[in-house]
Amino acid sequence: MIGKLRGIIDSYGEDFVIVDVQGVGYQVHCSTRTLQALPAQGEAVSLSIETHVREDQIRLFGFAGDHEREWFRLLQTVQGVGVKVALAVLGTLKPSDLANAIALRDKASISKTPGVGAKVAERIVTELKDKAPAFADLDPAVVRLSGAVDEHRAPKPVLDAVSALVNLGYGQPQAAAAIAAASRNAGDKAETAQLIRLGLKELAK
C-alpha cells in the first residue's frame, strides 16, 4: 500500500499528475485545488497518497498533506459520497473551511461544489457534524452556541439578533456564528441591540 510519493513532476492531465519516482511514473488523481498548488513540470514534489485497490484497477489519490487525505477518507463515510464527490468538495473548499462549514451547519458553502446538491450537502453536514469541530478553527463554545441558535434553543435576544443580521443580508450560518461569538463575549444578559453591534464587529474581522 502506497502512503506517500516523493519524486519529480513528469506531466499533468486533466485531473491527475504523473510523478516520476526513480524512473517509474505514477498516475496520481488530485483535486483541482491540489493540482493548482503543485510545482511546475520537472520540479520536485511530495504527496500524501490514498491507494484504492479494486479487482480491475489500482488508483492513487494525492493530497498536499495528511490532513487533506484524512478529510478525503472522512467524506467518503457519508452516504452517497464517493471518490469523485469527495475530491470535488476538497477542490472547492480548503480542509479548514470545510471543517468550519460543517461545524456551523453551513450547507450553502458545501453546495457550491459542482455536482453536490442540497441533499448531499445536508448529509455531509448532518453525518459529520460531531467529527468536524475537532478539525475546525473555531472556538468549541462558539460552535455549541451556533448549534443552539440553529436549533432555536438559544435565548430570545440571541435569536432576534441573528434574525436581524439575516435581514441585513448575511447568511444564516455566518449570522449565527457571529452572534454566538458576540453572546459569549457579552454574557448571558446582553440585549439584542448590543449583540447586533458586537455581531457586526465579528463579521467585519
Q: What is the pLDDT of residues 40-91, one digit of tens each?
A: 999 999 999 999 988 888 999 999 988 899 999 999 999 989 999 999 999 9
pLDDT tens for each residue of 146-163: 665 655 667 888 888 888
Q: What is the pTM of this model?
A: 0.67
The residue assigned the cell 480548503 is 94
CA distance 129 to 1: 30
Say which CATH class 4-63 falls into. Answer: mainly beta
Sorted by where each begins, the domain ranges of the chain are 4-63, 67-134, 140-204
Distance of CA 52 to CAs 90, 106, 108, 119, 185, Å?
18, 30, 30, 26, 47
Lookup: cell for 97: 473551511
Mode of pairing for the β-strands spanning 44-53 and 58-63: antiparallel
Tell me the helix, strand and coil percentages in the chain, rounded to 5.
Answer: 50, 20, 30
| Topology given in CATH for the domain delimited by 67-134 | DNA polymerase; domain 1 (1.10.150)
Which 8-state DSSP code applies to residue 42?
T
Kindly tell me if the per-residue pLDDT of 166 is higher than 70: yes
Quote the cell numbers at residue 158.
440571541
Between 81 and 205, the more confident residue is 81
pLDDT at residue 182 is higher than 90 = no
